[in-house]
Amino acid sequence: MGRAATGIPIVMAIWALSSTPALGQDEDFDPRDLSGVWVLAFSPGGPFAFGEDRPPLTSEGDARYLQNIPTASNDPRLRTSDDPSESNDPTYACNPIGFPRTLHDSVIRVFEIVQLEDRVLQLLQRRRTLREFWLDGRALPSGENLDNIGPSWFGHSVAQWEGNELVVNTVGLDDRAWLDPMGNVKSFTARIEERIRRIDADTLEIRMTLHDPAYYTTAWEGRVLTFTREPADRLTHFGWYGIYSGVADLMCAPLNFIELRREGGY
C-alpha cells in the first residue's frame, strides 16, 4: 500500500529487537479461557483463506470470481497484475481487509482476546478492528433481519460453547471484500463458522468453514490456523499491554494518502 503502510516495518523492527522468552509450560490451564494476545505461528496452504482445495463454484459465483484481477493466481482464466493501478483488489483502494482475510493475509497477524460475561472480544491489531462474538443467546441474523442490518466488512457474529470449543458463526459479510489475495469470493448470504480451541497453555487453533450455496456448490472446509500466546513480560517491555493498545494504527485511508503524498509530506 505504498507509504501509507509505513507503520508496518516499524512494528516489525520493534518486534525483532526484543528477545523471545520461553513460553509458559504450565499445563494447568482453563481451556475455556481464551484471553491473551495471540500471534499466527503456522498457516499451511499459502495465501488461500481456506486452503487450495476450493470446491466448484456455482454459475453465479464463477461470474463474480472472473471479474477479479488479483496480483497472482493459479487459475489461468484470471487476468493478473502486480500493478496496484490495474489490480482491482479492494485493499488497494484503502478498503478494509475484512474477515476472514484479516486472520491470514496481513503483515501483522496478531489479535487480543478479551472475555466478558456476554461476549468475547477479538481486538485485531490490523487497522485496530474489533470483532464481537455474542454469547447471550441471541439468534444469528437471517432473512429480512439480516437485510435490514446490511453488510459489514467483518460481519455479525454469535457464538456458543460446545465442550471446550468456542463455535462462532458470522454472517452479513460485505461481498466486495475478497476471501484472500487470490481473488476468491463470497456472497452476502455466506456464513463462516470458526471453531476456536485452546489446546494447551500457549497454543490456540482456529478452523474455519465457508458455507455459501450462492457461490459454491459445497462447503469449503478450512485448514487449521495455529496461534501462539505472547507472554505478558514481552507485551509490557515497551510500557503497553495488548498490541491493540497502540504500537501503530496500521490503517490505510484516503486521507493518509493525501497527507503523505502532498508536497513536503513526510
* Local confidence band at 231 (pLDDT 50, 70, 90 cut-offs): confident
- Is 250 inside any structural domain? yes
Distance CA 92, CA 70 (A): 10
In the chain, the number of structural domains is: 1
- Is 27 inside any structural domain? no
Start-to-end CA distance of the chain, whole Å, equals 16
- Could you tell me which residue, 128 or 265, shows the higher pLDDT? 128
Q: Is the pLDDT of residue 202 over 70?
A: yes
- Is 63 inside any structural domain? yes
Distance CA 146, CA 164 (A): 29
- Is 38 inside any structural domain? no
Q: Which domain holds residue 117?
A: 2-16+43-261
pLDDT value of residue 2: 42
- Is 112 inside any structural domain? yes
What pLDDT, in 10s, does the model give residues 70-111? 998 989 999 999 898 899 999 888 888 899 998 888 666 788
Torsion sign (Cα): 123, 124, 125, 130: negative
Whole-structure pTM value: 0.82
- Is 204 inside any structural domain? yes
- Is 34 inside any structural domain? no
pLDDT value of residue 59: 98
pLDDT value of residue 22: 46
- Is 31 inside any structural domain? no
DSSP string, the chain: -GGGGTHHHHHHHHHHHS--PPPP------TT---EEEEEEE-TTTT-SS-S-PPPBPHHHHHHHTT---S--S-TTS---S-TTT---GGGGT----TTHHHHSSS--EEEEEE-SSEEEEEETGGGEEEEEE-S-PPPP-HHHHHHH--BSS-EEEEEEETTEEEEEEE-B-TTS-SSTT-----TT-EEEEEEEEEETTEEEEEEEEE-TTTBSS-EEEEEEEEEEPPHHHHTTTT-SSGGGTS------HHHHHHHHSTT--
